[in-house]
Structure 1
Amino acid sequence: MNTKVKLKEVYEVKQQYKAFYTGGTIVWKPDAQQFLCLNNGTISIVSVDNLHEPVALGEQETDGEIAEDVIYTFAVSNTGNSIVSGHRSGLLKLWDGEKHTVQKMWKTVHQGPISRLVFSPTDSVIASGGSDSTIRLWDPTEQVCLGTLRGAEGLINVIVFHPNADSKIVVAVGDDTKIRAWDYESRKQIKTFEGHFSRVTGVSFSEDRTHLVSAGRDKILILWNFESQQAVKTIPVYETLESVVVLPAGLRVGGIKLKKGKVYAACGGEEGLIKVWEMTGAKIIFKQSNSLVAKAAEEGGLAITHLFYSEPHGRMAVVSADHNILVHDCENFDYVHQLSGFSDEILDLILFGKRDQHIAMATNSSDFKVYDVSTMNCRLVKGHTDIVLSLCANDRYLLSSSKDNSIRLWSFTEEPFTISCVAIGLKHTNTVGCVTLSRQGGNFCASVSQDRCLKTWKIPKKFTTEEDGELPRLQCSLTALAHEKDINCVTISPNDRLIATASQDKTAKLWDASDLSVVGVFRGHTRGIWAVRFSPVDQILLTNAADCTIKLWSLEDMTCLKTLEGHDSSVLRVEFLTNGMQLLSAGADGLVKLWSIKTSDCVQTLDKHDNRVWALCVTRDESVFYSGGSDSQLIQWQDVTESKRQQELDQRKDTLLQEQELSNLLSERKLLKALRLSLNLDRPLSTLKIVNEVIRTKEQGLEDTVRKLSNDHKERLLRHAIEWNTNSKNCRPAQLALNVLLQETLAGRFQVSELNKHLEASLPYTERHFKRLTEYVKDLKFVEYSLRCMQPHAARMD
């Protein structure tokens, strides 16, 4: 049995999960299978079931620079087959919803940016609202302006077409408090609804199309009679509202069936809750009790920004101010899908589950996120009241720490996945920066805080809820004042006997887990230490610090065994690989490095992050690891060492076979066939010998052979000819090849990249060869002239 451990050499990106929604316009497609989200000036199309490959429309960022013609807003047709986008340049672009290609584009005449776009019920008209207080109507087929609607004030925030396509009415709202309606055929304002005292944020028509419901930041809902323009009911809701949707009769919401003949409106605002009102009776018939949207931090702030209803599926979607998308089943109001559009700064990552099928992520939020790695569907986990900083997990529990000075213990089940908080620890007096669970049995955990204390906590076998309904409290077993400055990291040894801590005071300390007595102190770093890790197999401790180094220490005598240098900035995280023989390190410069401990060499540098990499987590079989950082990217890396080795072996075998075949062809004098094979092997010298032999033997068919070559082979021949052309001995075959290839280019049969560059490289040598040949011709003509002059004298001598 072969027990030799194979070292890893090559990791490649398997999946790269970036932000797909950074705020602004968002649309739920009519089939309820996709969301279209505004993402830093582009449109991202994401599936509600799978986030692996979102589609992007629009100009992408290049090297961190935002594209010039960014998208400000967009709209989706009622059939879902077309998308129209408004750009900084003032262009409107019509996209094919399936192929994601631009079909048409035209220039608008808005004086300033376009703020809103909407399709009419029949998709035959597009309305655009701008910062110039006008609404313009467009025929997407002919790209002509059908008319301009004036009368609104300020930026156009809301545009809604009347659901009855025959009515030709469009409703819009500007920055003022009035709702206006126009007949867009006559382009005349026909109705004005006055009743709000602050900005109107949402407008929705009733199912019978005779009433209108509006919501605003003045904390009121108004039911309007559309024909008489009168307010039928004004309802104070005591919260700033951002969105309102009228629900159809017969729908069951939270177990309550909506009755016919009445108007029901769902609204969302600063409280972060969906509420359903019966508008005529001014009654709340449903109030959400399981919201994952945090209440706005201040009065009038944002919590829920958008609200959608999908009639075919009976589902409702909520978009929160922190860019989360939550899809509910209306009947029981359970969560069906949870998507996170923007993770901000990723602070920690941990894989858990028997098959590492879940990954937990701590970001700049009081909630942490749990993803299913197969679909990347997200689940928000609420509990902490301030930013979650650290995560740790074993087969039974997940442990988290936060800026709210607490740690929380979570129990989870895998199929179906559920997670709930079972206990809380509240003994720290400052931010808890890091937590860890014991390795053997998980019967205790440890935490470190900015109060400079190290604490261990006992985890009981069973948890019982307190009489007042509060969570059970974790019992703090031991406490030690561990360091002189903030403590950044804590970890427990594989046998649970030792605990190691790392601090900003430039030291790491080793503690006896039974009584928290100091076993040893590790000094040597010149700046604060970010993290500490025990080797999985050896008596070795690893530290990484802001002095750009990684150090390995002996646990027997506390001496430094090795220092790894290679990062140009702070080393923020390190993990062991390959039975403790290799390391993965992450730096503040966005680089992830793979190290060999034996040779102290950096085997590979992975450069995909744009900012600090705070988090690394590795699967149990070490075939995959994840990295996350300040650039909001979660990157999945795949070990491809074996496949690369096999690929190199296969390539070497193919090369040997082709070389043997080339040798056979040359020995059989099959020069033109050998030329093609030599180009395939990319051998300039062999190709030169073949062309010289063709010239010497005056074999016919060289031009025809070159014409039949593929574009790649022609480009290789061009590179070879330019290389030969640098030597005067090889100028004839070089010029012959260049002549044939230039004829192919002029005939359009050879498309060469960077033609100017190739010509510039060959032109000076060609001019030199031409000048030398010209001198040879002059000398030859002089010799001929001399011979002619000598012939009469030679005849007289005879």
Structure 2
Amino acid sequence: MKTEFKFSNLLGTVYSQGNLLFSPDGTCLFSPVGNRVTVFDLVNNKSHTLPFAHRKNIARIGLTPRGNLLLSVDEDGRAILTNVPRRVVLHHFSFKSPVSALAFSPSGRHIAVGVGRHIEIWHTPSTPDQSPDGELEFAPFVRHRVFAGHFDTVTNLQWSGDSLFLLSSAKDLTARIWSLDPTPGFVPTTLAGHREGVIGAYFSEDQETIYTISRDGAVFQWNYLGRPKASEADDEMEEDGNDERWRITERHYFMQTNAKVKCCVFHPESKLLVAGFSNGVFGLYEMPEFNMIHTLSISQNDIDFVTINKTGEWLAFGASKLGQLLVWEWQSESYILKQQGHFDSMNALTYSPDGQRVVTTADDGKIKVWDVNSGFCIVTFTEHSSGVTACEFAKRGNVLFTASLDGSIRAWDLIRYRNFRTFTAPTRLSFSCLGVDPSGEVVCAGSLDSFDIHIWSVQTGQLLDRLAGHEGPVSSLAFAPNGGVVVSGSWDHTVRIWSVFDRTQTSEPLQLQADVLDVAFRPDSRQLAVSTLDGQLTFWSVSEAEQQSGVDGRRDVSGGRKLTDRRTAANAAGNKSFSTIRYSADGSCVLAGGNSKYICLYSVSSLVLLKRFTVSINLSLSGTQEFLNSKMMTEAGPLGLIDEQGEASDLEDRIDKSLPGSKRGGDPSARKRMPEVRVTGVTFAPTGRSFCAASTEGLLIYSLDTEPLFDPIDLDLAITPASTIYVLEKEKDYLKAIVMAFRLNEAPLIRQVFQGIPHSNIALVVDELPVVYIPRLLRFVAMQTEESPHLEFCLLWIQAILVSHGQWVSDNRGSVDSELRIVSRAVGKIRDELRRLADENVYTIDYLLSQPEPKASLQNGGEEGLKSITDGSALDEDMDGENDDGEWIGLD
């Protein structure tokens, strides 16, 4: 089994804190998610997470006007410069202090950064297409100027359209105008008059008007009055001490009762002002008349940030308390994107049998279904009234079962998206684990309150039996994949194997040395893996009921010292066990995770640690450091646990609204303070090409299909994209062209060569193709079958592969099993679409033939009318009034 799994995507959370950014073309949205950045493609309905990670949560991000460079800064002021198209980190840099504002100039040549109460102007690093010699600068960050004048933290920076002037706003109740370079006759201007901190200051399109917005809801309009005459200027200089040329001409107020302005944005071209308030309402206003266009409540908590795309059509809102991200089109009053992650810790996850969806459950009582390809949540179930602790699919994949602390087991129909069956026990129990028979006929659940296992019939909803035998709480359940037995693990140091379908329901106890945390079946149902509290992984034969082997994982999983730990990471006992384990798709490996920052991958046959994955390096989480810094320890305890809320500068930030003693469920904000890094669930995809981990950071997906840019094996100087295209189009050596494309391993090039081969030559090319390229070709054809509209062309490739290399595929079934699953899924998808298309066409034909005979047939003696119906011309005239050759086949 391959073990080169790499981070692929981050699901389960869509926004944490900081600012949002639209791409220059307005089709993509950049959102900071913890210490990573996620990009949402709003047109193609997909999302991906950039592969780099900061040492702490991201505070600010900035994007060049061309959209090729992304600058992200974390809470400590450490910055990373990234090439967005290539997803490659170019440079690491550190500012002196935390960054509160960041803006690229419209020309793209400078970066304005608000560092505390100072404003620093930096040169933008040049890219090869910008610099005259085609090379990057050796020192990419060069400081141009520093502006000092504000007396408190800078909150917002805005450039003028010509990139010559800069407008800054700060908590010192003022906004200031700065010149990028020294300009004759220009004096930095202070715009004062607000009674609370200014959160935004913006130029109008002609730069003759400035709008400033403060936290108390005041909007001031400043107009440029021109340079005073010499005599007037002398008088004003004597009276006021400076040459003021901006005056307040209008004062407006938002009039939101008991709500502060949290964020705002102004679009100069459309003169649209958008403000988000602390009560979850946002408002749209047209300037300079201050006409209210629309107000809408989109959240129950503060709106932390708002931005608008270049055309002024889409508004993006972020609310960090519940992790909400919204994109709203204000003209049509419709949502473009509406996503929300779990606002409490995830408990369990599972893949659907086809590998296309991942289901997550959390302490917030919600069940979310995530699409793996797009990265979006497609449905959320909220019927459970308490934390959901376990979830599992039936074998066919259309039914999902969940267990909850509210005392119910629910069955969900994932075709109609509804709860069609609810199972309860005679007494109120909090269910903690769940098992589903592969046939979907029986479901069983265990609880920490009762030592019995309850079994229900899915068809009738009736309680069939209670299995008694454990002497402690039941912690885990698992049905054998062949449906023969069910296995239960308990805190009484035993694992019991139950034959629930026999006449006499006997159990075979397996004795262990510590509390059982999780059990997992190998896909062939012959072996059982058990994780215990003492950090041991033991493997048992199901038929013989005896232990085959074991692994001591305490040293492998231990890592990360929490803030409250009195002992070092190596000596702490709380993180030295695996709370969740799963077998790989082929049964050769076991994936294990626990209350630490590591996920371990073990080989079952050799009992060695194959690879250890680090879940997070985010220092904003407790437990990511191996050694704590002694300067963070004070007489009152760890510095990270001391409440600094009472020292906040704003009154509403000093007020503590959290419930006393509440840690989860009722008060979501308590979890955000210093969450501990841990892994609550792991699972392999059915294809074996990826696995998921539910962690504090979110839903992490690790995959083998991260597609490197090129594969250097068998490369020489003659193999280039240009030479590959030449071989394809000029020499028409199709076999050589596709081998060259596979060696370069660039997806666009492979696709071009693949589509450039004539369909009549497919069988000859596949027959002569070296066997080493068969798995890659099989996987690529399967992906193209799902994505491209050339259905018959892709099916011809699949047929040629199986005809020419069918024996090799059969002999190497284990190595190409995941590829065959993708092919099967793609062919099944085509079959379902064609069946649906044929049904729609049959209904359309029946409807058209049932219509009354057109008048043309009666006037022309019947023959011409019958001919017009036969060739379809009369139908075209009847349907759209024109005699055209319109196609009505219902392909998307």
Tell me the TM-score normalised to structure 1 length. Answer: 0.57
Query: Aligned-pair distance for 1:412?
Result: 2.2
Aligned to 1:449: 447
Letter paired with 1:567:
G
User: Deviations 1:716-765 (Å, cap 9, x if unpaired)?
Assistant: xxxxxxxxxxxxxxxxxxxxxxxxxxxxxxxxxxxxxxxxxxxxxxxxxx
Supply the RMSD in Å over aligned alpha carbons. 5.2
Query: Aligned-pair distance for 1:520?
Result: 2.0
- Provide the secondary structure at the position in 2 that maps to 1:608: strand
User: Deviations 1:429-473 (Å, cap 9, x if unpaired)?
Assistant: 565422333321x34533333323644455469xxxxxxxxxxxx
- Provide the secondary structure at the position in 2 that maps to 1:399: strand
Counterpart mapping for 1:203-602 below 5 A: 212=211, 214=213, 216=215, 221-227=217-223, 228=248, 230-239=250-259, 241-246=261-266, 265=274, 267=276, 269=278, 271=280, 285-287=294-296, 295-296=300-301, 304-312=303-311, 314-321=313-320, 325-330=325-330, 331=332, 333-336=334-337, 338=339, 347-352=347-352, 355-362=354-361, 366-379=365-378, 381=380, 383=382, 387-394=387-394, 395-402=397-404, 407-413=409-415, 419=417, 421=419, 429=428, 431-440=430-439, 442-452=440-450, 454-457=453-456, 459=458, 483-494=470-481, 499-510=486-497, 519-520=506-507, 522-534=509-521, 537=524, 542-551=529-538, 559-568=545-554, 569-576=576-583, 582=588, 584-588=590-594, 590-596=598-604, 601-602=606-607
Counterpart mapping for 1:138-149 below 5 A: 145=144, 148=147
Distance of aligned partners of 1:54 and 1:545 in 2 relative to their CA distance in 1, 3 Å threshold: same
Aligned to 1:173: 170
User: Deviations 1:201-220 (Å, cap 9, x if unpaired)?
Assistant: 5566788985747363xxx5
Letter paired with 1:609:
T
Letter paired with 2:600:
V
- Provide the secondary structure at the position in 2 that maps to 1:317: strand
- Provide the secondary structure at the position in 1 that maps to 2:414: strand
* Contact residue 18 and residue 305 of structure 2 kept, 8 A: no
User: Deviations 1:476-506 (Å, cap 9, x if unpaired)?
Assistant: 6666777554432223345767543322232
Distance of aligned partners of 1:553 and 1:93 in 2 relative to their CA distance in 1, 3 Å threshold: closer
- The 1-side partners of 2:148 and 2:324 are apart by 35
Aligned to 2:102: 117
Distance of aligned partners of 1:96 and 1:436 in 2 relative to their CA distance in 1, 3 Å threshold: closer
Query: Aligned-pair distance for 1:194?
Result: 1.8
Query: Aligned-pair distance for 1:545?
Result: 1.9
User: Deviations 1:492-526 (Å, cap 9, x if unpaired)?
Assistant: 34576754332223233455758999632624112
- The 2-side partners of 1:396 and 1:554 are apart by 31
User: Deviations 1:592-616 (Å, cap 9, x if unpaired)?
Assistant: 34444xxx53266222235865433
* Contact residue 325 and residue 339 of structure 1 kept, 8 A: yes
- 1:615 matched to 2:681? The reply is yes
- The 1-side partners of 2:381 and 2:608 are apart by 40
- The 2-side partners of 1:16 and 1:434 are apart by 29
- The 1-side partners of 2:268 and 2:143 are apart by 36
Distance of aligned partners of 1:566 and 1:270 in 2 relative to their CA distance in 1, 3 Å threshold: farther
Distance of aligned partners of 1:103 and 1:11 in 2 relative to their CA distance in 1, 3 Å threshold: closer
Query: Aligned-pair distance for 1:13?
Result: 1.3
- The 1-side partners of 2:316 and 2:21 are apart by 10
Q: Extract unaligned runs of 5+ from structure 2.
A: 126-140, 224-247, 555-575, 616-676, 707-711, 715-892
* Contact residue 317 and residue 328 of structure 1 kept, 8 A: yes
- The 2-side partners of 1:502 and 1:105 are apart by 48
> Quick check: which has more Rg, 1 or 2?
1
Distance of aligned partners of 1:249 and 1:574 in 2 relative to their CA distance in 1, 3 Å threshold: same
* Contact residue 10 and residue 604 of structure 1 kept, 8 A: no
- Provide the secondary structure at the position in 2 that maps to 1:236: coil
- 1:182 matched to 2:177? The reply is yes
Q: Which one has a larger percent strand, Structure 1 or Structure 2?
A: 1
Match among 139, 154, 164 for residue 156 of structure 1? 154
- The 2-side partners of 1:10 and 1:249 are apart by 54
Q: Which stretch of structure 1 is more off in the superposition, 625-634 or 206-215?
A: 206-215
Tell me the TM-score normalised to structure 2 length. Answer: 0.52
- The 2-side partners of 1:459 and 1:22 are apart by 40
* Contact residue 41 and residue 72 of structure 1 kept, 8 A: no
User: Deviations 1:128-151 (Å, cap 9, x if unpaired)?
Assistant: 3222x233556769956456252x
Query: Aligned-pair distance for 1:586?
Result: 1.3
- The 2-side partners of 1:95 and 1:547 are apart by 43
Distance of aligned partners of 1:620 and 1:224 in 2 relative to their CA distance in 1, 3 Å threshold: same
Distance of aligned partners of 1:387 and 1:165 in 2 relative to their CA distance in 1, 3 Å threshold: farther
* Contact residue 70 and residue 83 of structure 2 kept, 8 A: yes
* Contact residue 202 and residue 214 of structure 1 kept, 8 A: yes
- Provide the secondary structure at the position in 2 that maps to 1:117: strand
Distance of aligned partners of 1:444 and 1:284 in 2 relative to their CA distance in 1, 3 Å threshold: farther
* Contact residue 215 and residue 244 of structure 1 kept, 8 A: no
Identity %: 17
- The 2-side partners of 1:143 and 1:601 are apart by 54
Aligned to 1:11: 3
- 1:27 matched to 2:21? The reply is yes
Query: Aligned-pair distance for 1:529?
Result: 0.9
Distance of aligned partners of 1:276 and 1:45 in 2 relative to their CA distance in 1, 3 Å threshold: closer
- The 1-side partners of 2:91 and 2:532 are apart by 55
* Contact residue 318 and residue 327 of structure 1 kept, 8 A: yes
User: Deviations 1:690-730 (Å, cap 9, x if unpaired)?
Assistant: xxxxxxxxxxxxxxxxxxxxxxxxxxxxxxxxxxxxxxxxx
- The 1-side partners of 2:381 and 2:111 are apart by 41
- 1:135 matched to 2:141? The reply is no
Distance of aligned partners of 1:585 and 1:333 in 2 relative to their CA distance in 1, 3 Å threshold: same
Letter paired with 1:573:
T
- The 2-side partners of 1:80 and 1:248 are apart by 20
Aligned to 1:54: 50
- The 2-side partners of 1:318 and 1:346 are apart by 24
- The 2-side partners of 1:130 and 1:313 are apart by 29
Counterpart mapping for 1:624-773 below 5 A: 624-629=690-695, 634-636=700-702, 638=704
Query: Aligned-pair distance for 1:396?
Result: 1.5
- The 2-side partners of 1:92 and 1:624 are apart by 30
Letter paired with 1:352:
S
Distance of aligned partners of 1:221 and 1:573 in 2 relative to their CA distance in 1, 3 Å threshold: same
- Provide the secondary structure at the position in 2 that maps to 1:12: coil
* Contact residue 267 and residue 307 of structure 1 kept, 8 A: yes
Query: Aligned-pair distance for 1:172?
Result: 0.5
- The 1-side partners of 2:453 and 2:585 are apart by 30
- Alignment length (residue pairs): 568
Query: Aligned-pair distance for 1:563?
Result: 4.1
